[in-house]
């Protein structure tokens, strides 16, 4: 707003000014100063408003970014929980299978130990029988050889040899499993 003041002349003398003119000029200058102060104040307020709006927009962006990051972290956490659950189920199943396999092996080992014990007992028994048979065969063979005095072995010697072969085959059979 511009205030236009008329050019007033209060007399013919150029050096003399009218007191009203001086007063008007003073008011005019005050008005101009007030106008400039108001405009400056408005500019500052406009700048503050723009700064505040910019700060609010930045804060809103930060909140939205934080919210997106939070959502991504929650999704990642959910995925990790699901993977952990799957892993836990897998571990439980594996543990159950391993325990079952261990029980099966222990049972098999006990069976093998029992079988070895029985075979050892049979071997001992067969060894004793073989020794008794050899002693009996030797005494009979010697007695028969003396009676027959042939070049050919006696039938009793042949039986003893067959028994020894049979013993070896039985021992081989039991030792192979």
Q: What stretches of the chain show up as alpha helix (H) in DSSP?
A: 19-148, 155-176
Ramachandran sector of residue 101 (left: φ over 0; alpha: ψ -120 to 50; beta: rest): alpha
Return the structure tokens found at 99: 């325990």
Q: How does pLDDT run across 146-175, given as a tens digit for each residue? A: 555 555 667 777 888 888 888 888 878 877
- The CA distance from 6 to 29, in Å, is 15
The residue-averaged pLDDT of 13-18 equals 53
Q: List the domain boundaries for the chain.
A: 23-133
pLDDT at position 96: 95
CA dihedral 11→17→22→24, nearest 10 degrees, is 30
Q: How does pLDDT run across 85-139, given as a tens digit for each residue? A: 999 999 999 999 999 999 999 999 999 889 888 888 888 888 887 787 767 666 6
pLDDT at position 144: 57
Return the structure tokens found at 92: 């439980």
């Amino acid at each position: 707003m511009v205030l236009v003041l008329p050019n007033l002349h209060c007399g013919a003398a150029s050096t003399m000014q009218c007191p009203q003119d001086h007063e008007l000029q003073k008011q005019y200058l005050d008005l101009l100063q007030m106008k400039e102060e108001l405009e400056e104040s408005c500019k500052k307020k406009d700048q503050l408003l723009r700064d505040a709006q910019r700060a609010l927009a930045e804060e809103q962006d930060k909140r939205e970014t934080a919210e997106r990051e939070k959502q991504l972290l929650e999704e990642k956490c959910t995925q990790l929980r699901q993977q952990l659950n799957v892993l836990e189920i897998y571990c439980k199943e594996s543990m159950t299978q391993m325990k079952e396999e261990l029980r099966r092996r222990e049972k098999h080992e006990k069976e093998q130990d029992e079988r070895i014990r029985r075979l050892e007992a049979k071997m001992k028994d067969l060894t004793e029988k073989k020794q008794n048979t050899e002693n009996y065969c030797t005494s009979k063979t010697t007695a028969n050889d003396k009676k027959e005095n042939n070049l050919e072995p006696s039938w009793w010697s042949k039986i003893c040899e067959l028994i020894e072969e049979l013993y070896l085959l039985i021992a081989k059979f039991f030792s192979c499993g």
